[in-house]
Structure 1
Amino acid sequence: MNTPYQNDSSDWATTTKALGWIIPDWPAPDNVNAVSTTRNGGRSAAPFDSLNLGDHVGDNERDVAANRQRVGDLLQLPTEPLWLEQVHGTVVSGMDASSGYPKADASVAFKAGQVSIIMTADCLPVLFCDRAGTRVASAHAGWRGLCDGVLEKTLAQMECDASDILVWLGPAIGA
Structure 2
Amino acid sequence: MTRTEPIRPDWPVPGRVRAFATTRAGGFSWGDWAGLNLALHVGDDPEHVVANRARLREALALPAEPLWLSQVHGCSVADAGRDLAGCEADAAFAYTPGQVCAVLTADCLPVLFADREGVAVAAAHAGWRGLAGGVLEATLARFDDPGRVIAWLGPAIGPLAFEVGEEVREAFLAVDPLAAEAFVQHGERWRADLYRLARLRLEVAGIGEVYGGGRCTYSEPQHFYSYRRDGRTGRQASLIWLEETA
Q: TM-score, normalised by structure 2?
A: 0.62
Deviations 1:31-55 (A, max 9, x none): 1111100000100011001100000
**Which residue in the other structure is 1:155 paired with?**
140
**Aligned-pair CA distance for 1:19:** 3.6
**Aligned-pair CA distance for 1:162:** 2.0
- Describe the shift of the 1:99–1:161 C-alpha distance in structure 2 as closer, same or farther (beyond 3 A): closer
**Which residue in the other structure is 1:174 paired with?**
158
Q: Is the 8 A contact 2:67 2:84 kept in 1?
A: no
The CA distance in 2 between the partners of 1:20 and 1:98, in whole Å, is: 29
Q: TM-score, normalised by structure 1?
A: 0.86
> Identity of aligned pairs, percent?
53
Deviations 1:98-138 (A, max 9, x none): 54411111000010111111111101110001111110100
Superposition RMSD in Å: 1.2
- Give 3-state SS (helix, strand or coil) of 1:147's partner: helix
The CA distance in 1 between the partners of 2:41 and 2:5, in whole Å, is: 24
Deviations 1:138-163 (A, max 9, x none): 000000000000000000012x2222
Residue 13 of structure 2 is aligned to residue 25 of structure 1: no
Letter in 2 for 1:42: G
- Describe the shift of the 1:67–1:82 C-alpha distance in structure 2 as closer, same or farther (beyond 3 A): same
Q: Is the 8 A contact 2:26 2:35 kept in 1?
A: yes
Mark the runs of 5 or more structure 1 residues left unpaired by the alignment: 1-17
**Aligned-pair CA distance for 1:70:** 0.6
- Give 3-state SS (helix, strand or coil) of 2:132's partner: helix
Mark the runs of 5 or more structure 2 residues left unpaired by the alignment: 160-246
- Give 3-state SS (helix, strand or coil) of 1:47's partner: helix
**Which residue in the other structure is 1:50 paired with?**
35
The CA distance in 1 between the partners of 2:30 and 2:68, in whole Å, is: 22
The CA distance in 2 between the partners of 1:84 and 1:90, in whole Å, is: 12
- Give 3-state SS (helix, strand or coil) of 1:23's partner: coil
The CA distance in 1 between the partners of 2:83 and 2:14, in whole Å, is: 29
The CA distance in 2 between the partners of 1:118 and 1:26, in whole Å, is: 19
The CA distance in 2 between the partners of 1:77 and 1:149, in whole Å, is: 29
- Give 3-state SS (helix, strand or coil) of 1:118's partner: strand
Q: Quick one: which of 88, 107, 124 aligns to 2:92? A: 107
The CA distance in 2 between the partners of 1:98 and 1:134, in whole Å, is: 19
- Give 3-state SS (helix, strand or coil) of 1:54's partner: coil
- Describe the shift of the 1:98–1:34 C-alpha distance in structure 2 as closer, same or farther (beyond 3 A): closer
Aligned residues: 157
Deviations 1:45-93 (A, max 9, x none): 1100110000000100010001011101111111111100111111100
**Which residue in the other structure is 1:90 paired with?**
75
- Describe the shift of the 1:26–1:58 C-alpha distance in structure 2 as closer, same or farther (beyond 3 A): same
Q: Quick one: which of 25, 39, 59 aligns to 1:40? A: 25
Letter in 2 for 1:108: F
Residue 81 of structure 2 is aligned to residue 69 of structure 1: no
Q: Quick one: which of 145, 148, 160 aligns to 1:164? A: 148
Deviates more, 1:88-97 or 1:74-83: 88-97
**Aligned-pair CA distance for 1:21:** 2.1
